[in-house]
Amino acid sequence: MSFSRRIDGESERDRLAGHVADLLEGGVVLRTAAAGASAELLRIDATRAMERWEAIRRRALDALPPADLSARIPGERDPIERLLRDFGAGLEEVIIDDRAMARALQDEMDRRQERIRVRWHNGPMPAFDVDDVAGQIDTALAPRIALPSGVEVLFEPGETLCAIDVDSAGAGGRQGRAPRRPVEVNLEAAPAIAQQLRLRNLAGAVVVDFVTMRSAYDRDKVQAALAEALREDPVPTQVYGFTRHGHFELTRARRGTTLAGQLQALERSGS
């Protein structure tokens, strides 16, 4: 049995463990959304998991490899439900521009006793334009992003690891001011890197080439800032710190495909 790292407290973990100990064979993974759930709710969810597994097993017996065994399985969760399952504890509000879907999701939240607000968006402006979601997606697809100060961060995802480079060339001191110190540049880049890892859904080994800092104290400050920003990531992330060559290493658990991969799949399905 394993727990999401966002389920805090030994008493809560012991309570959940007591409820699910005999529900499923082969082990149980309690995700973030399980925090605070009742025994009955956990039993219902375990029953659904077994039904999905049985449907996948039957499909495997009839399929010729390679085959997508999760496709069109009765009861398989849609993208919104998968989002709630994986990130539920970190969500406060879900905005949907489909009235029927918003009502159905609100009913589901009430049934599950979730405290997530569901809001139907019916304004004159498309929902994606209200908070510039489309613009954020475009930024998350770009290989290079520019921060307000002029610092640029370059993302180079590969098959085995993702390389990230912090470029301070455009972050020189303004007129009349001294040039920014490397630690200042890196402290600005750290939260942006954490945010982009989540938005792009990058996973596996990640190596960050920060602007070189000579001071161990400065490196510790940058490591602490990045670790703090990564605490909000619902996907387990392990921070290893700076190597002797000055690169920063971390690993992020793989949860689904990258944002770019998801959009490419949508384009193929719609073509």
pLDDT of residue 168: 85
Lowest mean pLDDT among 29-33, 69-73, 123-127, 253-257: 69-73
Q: Where are the domains of the chain?
A: 2-76, 92-131, 135-252
Residue 271, pLDDT above cutoff 60: no
DSSP string, 21-84: TTT-TT--EE-GGGTT--HHHHHHHHHHHHHHHHHHHHHHHHPPSS--TTTT-TTPPPHHHHHH
pTM assigned to the model: 0.63
176 pLDDT band, cuts 50/70/90, is: very low
Lowest mean pLDDT among 12-16, 162-166, 229-233: 12-16
Q: What residues contact residue 223 under an 8 Å CB cut-off, 6+ apart?
A: 239, 241, 242, 248
State the average pLDDT for the chain: 82
Cβ distance 156 to 162 under 8 Å?
Answer: yes
Per-residue model confidence as pLDDT tens digits over 199-216: 999 999 999 999 999 999
Per-residue model confidence as pLDDT tens digits over 21-51: 777 666 777 766 677 777 787 777 778 777 7
Distances (CA, A) of 118 to 36, 121, 226: 20, 10, 31
* Closest C-alpha to 80, from 98, 94, 93, 68: 94
- Within 10 angstroms of residue 249's Cβ, the number of other Cβ atoms is 15
